[in-house]
Chains A and B, each alone.
Chain A
Amino acid sequence: MLLNQFLLLSAVLFSIGVYGVVVRKNGVLVLMSIELILNAVNINLIAFSTFWGLGGQVFALFVIAVAAAEVGVGLAIVLLIYRNRRSVDIDTLDELKG
């Protein structure tokens, strides 16, 4: 079935994204991995929308818009971190340690 392939693609994309978020040390790359996760979700939404109406596509558009905003904020944070520390290695950012 067509849906299966889409769901598989989406699952693969999601897994790659999760891997990137958990493993990569570069802050920018972590942000990009998050984009991958979001896009995996978008694929899911659009794939399901072919069966259950256009709501999924509309929702995907919203997700894209919110993702753009999120990347904007995220890149700004990364930029500021870089300015302060001359590095974007998030392993060194353990200020939240309890």
Chain B
Amino acid sequence: MWFFTHVWIIPALMVLSFLLILLFGKKMPKKGSEIGIFFIGIALVMSIATAVNWWSWSSGGPEVTSKAAEAAALSEVQPKCSKVATEERLEAAEQGEKGKAQGKSVAAAAASSAEKGGEPEIATRPVVRCLSWFETGNDRMTIGTLVDGQSVLMLVVVTIISLLVHVFSTDYVGGDRRYTHYFAFLSLFTASMLFFVLGQSTLQLIIGWELVGVCSFALIGHWWEEKPNTDAALKAFLTNRVGDVGLLVGMTVLYFAADRSFSVLDINILANEGEIRHVVLLVAACCLITAVMSKSGQFILHTWLPDAMAGPTPVSALIHAATMVVAGIYLVARLYPVFFEGLSIAGSSVNLLAVVGAVTALFGALLAFVQKDIKKVLAYSTVSQLGFMVTSLGVGAWTAAMFHLFTHAFFKACLFLGAGSLSHACHHSFNMVDDMGGLRKVMPKTFWTYLIATGALAGVFPLSGFWSKDEILSGTGSFPGTEGANGTYHLMLVMLLLAAFCTAAYMTRTIWYAFYGEFRGHGHPHESGPRITVPLIILATLGAVAGVANLPKSLQVVDVPGAWATRFEKFVEPVGLYFPAISHAGFNLTLAVVSVVVGLAGIGTSYLYFWKGSFRWAQGLSSRNKLAAAGKRVLENKYYFDWLYTDVITGFVKGPLANATNWFNQHVVDGIVNGVGRGAVGTGQWVYKNVDQKVVDGTVNGIGAGAGATGGVLRHLQSGRVQQYAALFFVAAAVLTGVFVVAIG
């Protein structure tokens, strides 16, 4: 339990690592990378220890652990951390949860015991610890840690991916001129993300969010000598700023809505209990969705994400698997009551979050078809998969979203690092169409890991992607026979299935270009060294088996043992006051079969097209058919979003708007300023002539003249003759005596 209260050490370690690398990195034998790896290793161990503690704590529940008193003390939320999460309130809620669970078990005893595996339903409380940061008036800003299943999950994911990326980087960026700074920023990046996921107040979330943005800026622009790289870094940063406006507005709205409190618990509890008005929550949710759009690369602010491929490949892996882009998902998941209540997710069939996610999932996947650059394919794949997660959150399948985040982190990191390994072999080119091909034989390890990760991404049974994607699909509640979903989102299901088909197809396409056919590059490609392949193997293994982390309760043909089923629902999903009562869609065999078939159909289509040369009519279709050509052009221009932003919006601002502003400035503002100036000059002259010259100078001269005249009269007294003075003295004395006598007498 020590780990719960001292979880702040984990981000602090990475900050320390950042400082040490900056200060001493260049003098170390390995240029600072060993410091980073050492600290991220410790952070990983601590994260896993925290997760294991959380596991045992949540399985036992506070009241049955041997250290009951300690556990009770831990679970108390200090009043300074949260105004509304009082002991009575928490207990009342827990009693309610238990009552509900018991009621359910009475109603359907057999089903319930099968469902729960005989375990009691326990509301595991979050462990909140905080310090007063500063106080203004009556408001206290706190900074602290909030440990619950969600943050523990993220701790583990971030540190695992970060460690593997560190190891991979020692080879991949070896010999780079800013090697030390690279590792320093990796540490800071990891620290920011860890700080973000442990955030106890929304202020902390904002700070972590921005820190992640800054670090990604620095790392995307790591090779800033080339203009496109700095452009990409700037684009990432500026696009994120657009969303940050939404974040700030949303957080401010929530601050006032939650009775002037930044505490995540306060906001969630009040939103959950319906004490914040629906409209306010809706506004806050919409603002935060803007933030999520920019950070998590959702339409229409996704354009920075493919450009962010300009950074070193391990950074792309870190950004797209574990840190930057999942920050948006994490934010929605963290403030889920706001979205759940604000967007009325339950019982609905469409809402903004789900639409944004589904559109992103489908349109991102389509874009991946026309890319030549293997990393760009993966980038659009990330956009698309993030769309899956956002949709999942939008349809109420919170657990499925976190599960997909978890599995996606592994296989997507594996794919990115695999792409890095490929480019390492092919003279640092990522162009799979022109510079790769036939690498299956020379790079077997990269090939097999890439293949497994692709299978996971495409949703091939029984790899991890299958389980998480299937859970999202059933979470839409639209497929006939699915039970327990929060709403019925037909449109989302259709779009996600299409996206899944595209995903399988474009990933197969990358495999064709990179690993099959003839080698089209120059030189002799070779398998990468162990520091590259070992992380790949670990990630591929995790990507293959991570699905067991959240198996459904029943596969309909066989039952899953209780100890294995729905672990995420039990350990990751918060229960109680600060989380909405979402329901969980059950496993649907037909839907699972359909999704596998869709995936396989995607793979099959690509296979037939590339390997067997089927669909002859489709080869070169875009050069023969105008409609297809137009479609391809739209895709190649990325739906013209970049054109919209740079030419239309920026062009409008730079051209007509700037000219109009200039005209307004020149004619109206300057006119006013000049008029005021002229008026001031006229007034000044009048004042000079009349007031200064006549009144003021007149007074001064008058006083001078008066003094001169008086002096002229009085100077005769000052004759210098002593006797005259004496005479005056005596006259004066006589007069005074006379006055004295008269006055007294």
Q: A residues touching B (Cβ–Cβ < 8 Å)?
A: 18, 21-23, 30, 90-91, 93-98
When the two chains form their complex, are residues B723 and A22 in contact, meaning their CB atoms are under 8 A apart?
A: yes
Residue of A nearest to B722 (CB): A90
Give the 5 A-B residue pairs with the shortest CB-CB distance, closest first: A97-B720, A98-B718, A94-B720, A96-B720, A22-B727
- Rounded to whole angstroms, the CA-CA distance of A71 and B282 in the bound complex is 110
Residue of A nearest to B733 (CB): A18
CB-CB < 8 A to A97: which residues of B? 718-720
When the two chains form their complex, are residues A23 and B723 in contact, meaning their CB atoms are under 8 A apart?
A: yes
When the two chains form their complex, are residues B723 and A95 in contact, meaning their CB atoms are under 8 A apart?
A: no
CB-CB < 8 A to B726: which residues of A? 21-22
Residue contacts A-B, CB under 8 angstroms, 26 given? A18-B730, A21-B723, A21-B726, A21-B730, A22-B723, A22-B727, A23-B723, A30-B723, A90-B722, A90-B723, A91-B721, A91-B723, A93-B720, A93-B721, A93-B722, A94-B719, A94-B720, A94-B721, A95-B720, A96-B718, A96-B722, A96-B725, A97-B719, A98-B715, A98-B718, A98-B720
Least CB distance from A91 to B in Å reads: 7
CB-CB < 8 A to A91: which residues of B? 721, 723
A21-B726, A90-B721, A95-B720 given; name 19 further pairs at CB < 8 Å: A18-B730, A21-B723, A21-B730, A22-B723, A22-B726, A22-B727, A90-B722, A90-B723, A91-B721, A91-B723, A93-B720, A93-B721, A93-B722, A94-B719, A94-B721, A96-B720, A97-B719, A97-B720, A98-B715
- Rounded to whole angstroms, the CA-CA distance of A45 and B726 in the bound complex is 23
Residue of B nearest to A17 (CB): B730
CB-CB < 8 A to B715: which residues of A? 98
Residue of A nearest to B726 (CB): A21
Least CB distance from B398 to A in Å reads: 103
- Rounded to whole angstroms, the CA-CA distance of A22 and B726 in the bound complex is 6
Produce 1/0 per residue, B699-736, CB < 8 A to A: 00000000000000001001111110111001000000
Least CB distance from B712 to A in Å reads: 12
- Rounded to whole angstroms, the CA-CA distance of A18 and B732 in the bound complex is 13
CB-CB < 8 A to B718: which residues of A? 96-98
Within 8 A of A (CB), among B211-270: none
Least CB distance from A7 to B in Å reads: 14
- Rounded to whole angstroms, the CA-CA distance of A96 and B723 in the bound complex is 12
CB-CB < 8 A to A18: which residues of B? 730
Residue of B nearest to A37 (CB): B730
- Rounded to whole angstroms, the CA-CA distance of A23 and B726 in the bound complex is 10
Dominant SS among interface residues on chain B? helix
Least CB distance from A72 to B in Å reads: 19
Residue of B nearest to A90 (CB): B722
- Rounded to whole angstroms, the CA-CA distance of A23 and B719 in the bound complex is 16
- Rounded to whole angstroms, the CA-CA distance of A82 and B721 in the bound complex is 17
- Rounded to whole angstroms, the CA-CA distance of A97 and B722 in the bound complex is 10
- Rounded to whole angstroms, the CA-CA distance of A88 and B723 in the bound complex is 14
- Rounded to whole angstroms, the CA-CA distance of A98 and B725 in the bound complex is 13
Least CB distance from A82 to B in Å reads: 16
CB-CB < 8 A to A95: which residues of B? 720
Residue of A nearest to B717 (CB): A98
Least CB distance from B231 to A in Å reads: 87
Interface centre among B721, B722, B730 (most CB of A within 10 A): B722
- Rounded to whole angstroms, the CA-CA distance of A18 and B726 in the bound complex is 9
CB-CB < 8 A to B720: which residues of A? 93-98
CB-CB < 8 A to B719: which residues of A? 94, 97
When the two chains form their complex, are residues B721 and A22 in contact, meaning their CB atoms are under 8 A apart?
A: no
Least CB distance from B485 to A in Å reads: 112
Residue of A nearest to B716 (CB): A98
- Rounded to whole angstroms, the CA-CA distance of A91 and B722 in the bound complex is 8
- Rounded to whole angstroms, the CA-CA distance of A40 and B309 in the bound complex is 120
Least CB distance from A90 to B in Å reads: 6
- Rounded to whole angstroms, the CA-CA distance of A30 and B724 in the bound complex is 13
CB-CB < 8 A to A93: which residues of B? 720-722
- Rounded to whole angstroms, the CA-CA distance of A10 and B715 in the bound complex is 36
Least CB distance from B642 to A in Å reads: 93
Residue of B nearest to A25 (CB): B723
- Rounded to whole angstroms, the CA-CA distance of A21 and B727 in the bound complex is 8
Least CB distance from B385 to A in Å reads: 104
Within 8 A of A (CB), among B95-121: none
Least CB distance from B708 to A in Å reads: 14
Residue of B nearest to A96 (CB): B720
CB-CB < 8 A to A30: which residues of B? 723
Least CB distance from A19 to B in Å reads: 10
Produce 1/0 per residue, B653-684, CB < 8 A to A: 00000000000000000000000000000000
- Rounded to whole angstroms, the CA-CA distance of A91 and B720 in the bound complex is 9
Residue of A nearest to B730 (CB): A18
Least CB distance from A61 to B in Å reads: 24
- Rounded to whole angstroms, the CA-CA distance of A18 and B729 in the bound complex is 10
Residue of A nearest to B715 (CB): A98
Least CB distance from B194 to A in Å reads: 90
- Rounded to whole angstroms, the CA-CA distance of A11 and B723 in the bound complex is 21
- Rounded to whole angstroms, the CA-CA distance of A18 and B721 in the bound complex is 16
- Rounded to whole angstroms, the CA-CA distance of A95 and B727 in the bound complex is 18
- Rounded to whole angstroms, the CA-CA distance of A22 and B722 in the bound complex is 9
- Rounded to whole angstroms, the CA-CA distance of A94 and B716 in the bound complex is 13
Residue of B nearest to A95 (CB): B720
- Rounded to whole angstroms, the CA-CA distance of A90 and B718 in the bound complex is 15
- Rounded to whole angstroms, the CA-CA distance of A95 and B726 in the bound complex is 15
- Rounded to whole angstroms, the CA-CA distance of A91 and B727 in the bound complex is 14
CB-CB < 8 A to A22: which residues of B? 723, 726-727, 730
Within 8 A of A (CB), among B552-602: none
CB-CB < 8 A to B730: which residues of A? 18, 21-22
CB-CB < 8 A to A94: which residues of B? 719-721
Least CB distance from B70 to A in Å reads: 100
- Rounded to whole angstroms, the CA-CA distance of A84 and B719 in the bound complex is 21
- Rounded to whole angstroms, the CA-CA distance of A72 and B715 in the bound complex is 33
Residue of B nearest to A22 (CB): B727
Residue of A nearest to B721 (CB): A94
Residue of A nearest to B723 (CB): A22
Least CB distance from B8 to A in Å reads: 87
Interface centre among A30, A97, A98 (most CB of B within 10 A): A98
- Rounded to whole angstroms, the CA-CA distance of A7 and B719 in the bound complex is 35
- Rounded to whole angstroms, the CA-CA distance of A22 and B719 in the bound complex is 14
- Rounded to whole angstroms, the CA-CA distance of A21 and B722 in the bound complex is 10
Least CB distance from B715 to A in Å reads: 6
Least CB distance from B731 to A in Å reads: 10
Interface centre among B718, B727, B730 (most CB of A within 10 A): B730
Least CB distance from A88 to B in Å reads: 12
Least CB distance from B157 to A in Å reads: 100
- Rounded to whole angstroms, the CA-CA distance of A31 and B601 in the bound complex is 141
Residue of B nearest to A23 (CB): B723
CB-CB < 8 A to B722: which residues of A? 90, 93, 96
Least CB distance from B277 to A in Å reads: 90
- Rounded to whole angstroms, the CA-CA distance of A22 and B729 in the bound complex is 10
CB-CB < 8 A to A21: which residues of B? 723, 726, 730
Least CB distance from A5 to B in Å reads: 21
- Rounded to whole angstroms, the CA-CA distance of A23 and B721 in the bound complex is 11
Produce 1/0 per residue, B599-612, CB < 8 A to A: 00000000000000
